[in-house]
Amino acid sequence: MLENLYMDLPSNQLMNYHMIGKVLQSRYQIVQSLGAGVFGQTYIAVDIDYPHHPQCVVKQLKVSNSQPSYLDTLRLRFLTETQTLKRLGLHDQIPEFIACFEEHERFYLVQEFIEGHSLTAELPITPQWGCVWTENEVIDFLQDVLSILEFVHSQGVIHCDIKPENLIRRTADSKLVLIDFGSIQSVDLDIDGELPIYRIPVTSLGYIPPEQFIGQTQPNSDIYALGMIAIQALTGLEPLQLKGDADTNEILWRSQDTPVNDYLAAVLSQMVRYDYQERFQSVGEVLRVLQQMVQETQPDEPLEVTVESRDSYQRRTSEQSSPLLTGMKVGLAANSLLMGLGVYSLVTNSPAYSETETLYKATEEYQAGDLQEAIALAKSIPSHSNVYPEAQATIEEWQQQWQQAAEQYLIAEQAFNEGRWSDVLSVAPKVPDILYWQSKIDKLVQQAQFNIEVQTQDLLAKAYEKAEARDFSTALKYLRQIPQESSAGALVQKKLAEYSQKRQIRAAYFLHNAHKKALMGDFDGAVAFLRRIPKDTPIYAQVQVKLNEYTQKQRRQTQGQNVAFSM
């Protein structure tokens, strides 16, 4: 039976099932799966070598084949790049590198576990849901993360996957920590430099700049991603909800609903320029501009920006370019691009930029909610393109996922309209990871959760009122109507136990009084006490026996009194 159960599980879930509880290196015991990425699986483990069993993060890297030559090459790259991880871990706001090892031809990284919450929890969901950030909050955020990136880039590494999920607000000191430096892509050595769009986590789309999709990642690719997070914080709109200019491809993010200082707006727009050559070229440059803005500008003071021509830019950078910016490696970011290869080596066999860009734009339209436009764009890719097979597979996947999302949303919407709040929450995880549908279902979930809390408070008040009147059976009835998803779950369980015990004590008290009344021949009083005992108490079977007995005696007693009276 168990074998059949395992056969029904997807391979990645089956692997996770077998990993839980496993001890690696006789030291790191896997206790929880954090999720799978393109290049590996991430787990939480406990270090059983230490008395208090501290938690750590273990990343198991995918190995695409077991050929000795491939493993030797991957082993060398693994050992080389873990040295970079050790250097990165010296920064206070980057997880510390703990260990790396190979076991049964699989490669593992062990890093510090950061207790806290992701930046996602702090960002506004929409302009209507959650508070958008103030300009000062955005500036503080940018300066904080840019200081981390400045160190990262100084080590010759580009993160490649800056997004809210990879910024953790550490519980201990409320500082932001940049995570996910720990996966090496295990690929065949002749793989193209491009990362297929359908393999990128949906949480990364929108933050990844265009050049990264064709293997031309730059240091300022991280700047683009950070700028998109800042714009999201100011507007309450996720990147894929923003439109681009049809002629220039620039992000159109500033509107009347987004009051922001012209200077800061210009800085953010410069961070997210479509062409990486027209963006800020280094983290230090952005930091200097922000510092100057804080020192010199007044509220609403316009910013005059002089955009130099590409020719003048190229002349300037050719004269002043830093070795760091020309020799930097693509970093170790989980679920992003290749690790350990120079950016120029990633361009081999790349498809035409316009075709990859078309599929990228199609994905944006799909995530933003325009399925027909997304399909039309994907279908416009010519059949001779090496992007064509990916585009066709993507269209089919989109259609299936879209239909599933629409069906599940309708089920959730019907449950919401009928007041079945718990059903809304149970349906929500079944909606595929499409930003448009996730945004719609999130609104239902939030309102359903709010309604559950309102309902909970009402039922609790009624339960307390009945308990005050010693009607514990009705109080328990109200408590059992409180949904399991309520935040008062622990309190409800406590009150259920408390009122159940009090009801049993009260029932035993009534049974005892009934017995006393019966001994004194007061069967009317005995029956009256027995009828006050609820039917759902453990002693009710005994109550039924006594009720029949005392009722008969009550009847005989009444008949005897009537005979005596007639005489």
Distances (CA, A) of 142 to 137, 150, 533: 9, 12, 67
Three-state DSSP at 111 gives strand
- Provide the residue type at 495 as one letter: K
Residues 6+ apart with CB under 8 A from 482: 455, 456, 459, 460, 488, 492
219 contacts 210 by C-beta, under 8 angstroms: no
Unique residue bearing structure tokens 């031309």: 216
CA distance 37 to 59: 10
Q: Tokens in use for 318?
A: 């050719």
Distances (CA, A) of 274 to 204, 208, 310, 357: 17, 11, 13, 11
Three-state DSSP at 4 gives helix
Query: What is the tally of helices (H) and strands (E) in the chain?
Result: 18, 13
Distances (CA, A) of 85 to 98, 162, 337, 339: 10, 17, 16, 12
> What is the pTM assigned to this prediction?
0.55
Q: What are the residue numbers of the active site?
A: 161
In the chain the first and final C-alpha atoms are separated, in Å, by 80
Unique residue bearing structure tokens 């029949």: 548
Domains of the chain: 2-112 (3.30.200.20), 116-303+323-348 (1.10.510.10), 351-467+483-487 (no CATH), 490-566 (1.25.40)
Q: What is the largest CA-CA distance in the chain?
A: 131
* DSSP structural state of residue 273: -
Annotated binding site for ATP: 59
CB atoms within 10 A of CB 471: 17
CA distance 227 to 274: 12
- Provide the residue type at 226 as one letter: L
Annotated binding site: 59
CA distance 465 to 459: 10
504 contacts 538 by C-beta, under 8 angstroms: yes
In 209-279, beta strands by DSSP E: 243-244, 251-252
Per-residue pLDDT of the chain (567 residues; tens, 9 = 90+): 333 333 333 444 445 556 788 999 999 999 888 876 555 788 999 999 888 889 999 988 877 666 776 677 777 777 767 778 888 889 999 999 998 888 887 889 899 999 999 998 899 875 555 688 999 999 999 999 999 999 998 888 888 889 998 999 999 999 999 988 643 333 232 333 454 554 566 677 889 898 887 778 888 999 999 999 999 999 989 898 888 888 888 999 987 677 788 889 989 999 999 999 999 999 999 999 998 888 875 554 444 443 333 344 334 333 343 333 333 434 433 333 223 222 222 223 334 446 777 887 888 888 888 999 999 998 998 888 777 888 888 899 999 999 999 999 999 999 999 999 899 999 988 998 888 998 899 889 989 989 988 989 999 999 999 888 888 889 889 999 988 888 888 888 988 888 888 888 888 888 898 899 888 888 888 889 888 888 888 888 888 888 898 888 878 877 766 666 655
156 contacts 88 by C-beta, under 8 angstroms: no
